Amino acid sequence: MARFIVFKSQTDGRVRKQIEPVPTPVSTREAYRLAADMIFVARFYRLPLASFMGIAAMENNYMNVSGDLEHAVWKRRAQKGDIILKRRGRRVLVLNYATGVWQITRETLRYAHRLYLKDQKTRDYYQLPYYLRPPEELDFGLSKPRALTTYAGLIFRDLLDHFDGNVEKAVAAYNGGVRHPNCGYAEGVELVARYARSFLAHAAALNGRNLGETLLASGHRRLEPRRASEPLELGLLEEPSTPRGP
């Protein structure tokens, strides 16, 4: 899985064509870390891993690059943490750029955090590693940047629940919203997901496993949320034999 992440970032059009500003491809160390985080989150929320991988690939090919830096939206009122550009009566125009591997905008992050505060009442977040658990207070400074993967997974899980487990509709809504789902985005995610399944099925076979034994087998079947009492069991990813940094 980590090798797939490295491959996708290295073959990104901006990297291959050296389009400025050229993003930095994911390193092997970063790829193993992201792969582990995505597996943790996918199991925690019972997400189809290949589709989850496809969403991250569609957003920025797994690279940590800020996007839409000048994007702004009007809001009915200002909220804590807003970067206000203009006022019109009580309404405010606020900066709404996207950040991180998942390209989560500031307003989407605000929404995801509200979901988290509600969801933690019924789901045991202590089953996640500390670095994947969102903070209790919304943090636009992203002191725990790896928690963005958790936010992305929670948004996906919420959409799956909204669409009664229909993965295709949930993916389309991940980009366009529930009212205006982006079917073209969903097709792109499924294309990446199919490629990821093929890529990783080969890796699984080399390790003596069947694809049906992995999270990648979930495909488009309807997915039910994991019960809070259900243990979160994870194997360890094999990292390359290079010295570990701090």
Mean pLDDT to the nearest integer, 23-36: 94
| pLDDT band, residue 210 (cuts 50/70/90) | low
Average pLDDT, whole number, for the chain? Answer: 85
pLDDT tier, 208 (very low <50, low <70, confident <90, very high otherwise): low
The answer to whether the pTM exceeds 0.95 is no
- Output phi, psi for 91, to 5 deg: -75, 150
Neighbours of 120 (CB within 10 A): 15
132 within some domain: no
pLDDT tier, 209 (very low <50, low <70, confident <90, very high otherwise): low
122 inside domain: no
Which of 94-103, 144-153, 218-227 has the highest mean predicted lDDT (pLDDT)? 144-153
Q: How many domains does the chain have?
A: 1
Tell me the average pLDDT across 17-34: 93
Does 88 map to a domain?
A: no
pLDDT attached to residue 96: 94
Give the residue from 219, 216, 191 showing the smallest Cα distance to 204.
Answer: 216
Residues 13-23 have a mean pLDDT of 90
The 10s digit of each residue's pLDDT in 159-171 is: 999 999 999 999 9
User: Does residue 207 lie within any of the structural domains?
Assistant: yes
For residue 46, what are the domain limits?
2-62+148-218
Count CB-CB contacts under 10 A for residue 98: 19
pLDDT above 90 covers a percentage of the chain that reads: 67
Let me know if residue 103 belongs to a domain: no
Segment holding 47, helix H or strand E: none
How many Å apart are CA 165 and CA 160, to the nearest integer? 5
